[in-house]
Amino acid sequence: MPGRVHILVLNYNGQQLLDECLPSVVACARAAQMPCRVTLIDNESSDGSVEFVREHWPDVTIEREPNRFLVSFNDVVARLDEPIVLLLNNDVKLSPGCVDRLAAPFATHADCFATSPLCWTFDGRYEGTLSDLVFRRGLVHTHLRPPAELGAARYPSPLRATASAGAVLAVNRAKFLALGGFDSLYLPGRFEDLDLAFRAWLAGWKSYFVPDTVAYHKGSASFGPHVGSRGDELDARNALLFAWKNLREPRHVAAHGFFLTIRVLRALATGHTAFLRGWVSAMTKLPAVLRRRRAVAPPRVRSERELFQILGAADE
């Protein structure tokens, strides 16, 4: 077992969510077989969240950060010294034993970058996080394995996964920092957790799914109201940014260019304004994308094609 774990809970105006979810997180930390602290990262809440936590959970540390969504984790992780950090949204409940089970693969697998649990929504729907990586029509996507395929006999723990759900993600702190953490290019959100895991896999590390560990996620409780009707536009914009930033192999770049032309022409013909807005917004970020393509990063140990093959999805 690794020596220490730190749980970070990201919060913005989520007092009611903290009232519902934080007790399970604190209980899990207290019951862990290793030292485990809990810190609330508060994104300038105005609903009394900080005062509520100070009153009811005085052993929870509080860090105040500007509201930069998942990117808010980066600076706080850099200030920690625990080798394993568990990143949570404020709308997550942990089942007993989560800390120990999510931490275990880091001790037994030197290449472990991240671990993630079996995740359900509060109302009993399957959310993940065992997924395949798919390159389809010039874009990168994930495909969740259905819950029927999660039987222990067929999928022993732990398992490879393309990317872990942003809501519940344990990471190796040093590897997370080497990758630069979550990329602000995608703000306010979508695709930044996939981007992080994709870069980790290319660097030669692995993310593991731990099916005997269960978490519950309410889903978009804070993020959804913030983005409102912009969700489809953000999906389109960030899917394009992901491709422009990460795809290097000529066959992938060519496929992306071909299908992007078709998508733009089709959107113009059909009036698909969400995609067109996303495309225009992505174009304004081209200088930032190019800077990231040139930036120094961990060298690629795996090729993109190898990565798609490893993670169980064929190119289309």
- Over residues 211-270, the pLDDT tens digits come to 888 999 997 655 555 565 688 999 999 999 999 999 999 999 999 999 999 999 999 999
Q: Which residue has the higher pLDDT, 315 or 278?
A: 278
Phi, psi of 238 (to 5 degrees): -75, -25
Tokens matching residue 224: 């959804």
State which amino acid sits at residue 314. Answer: A
Nearest to 249 by CA among 143, 131, 140: 140
- Residue 160's pLDDT is 61
The Cα–Cα gap between 24 and 316 comes to 42
> What mean pLDDT comes out for the span 39-55?
97
Give yes or no for residue 23 having a pLDDT over 80. Answer: yes
The Cα–Cα gap between 290 and 311 comes to 27
Give yes or no for residue 314 having a pLDDT over 60. Answer: no
- Residue 275's pLDDT is 96
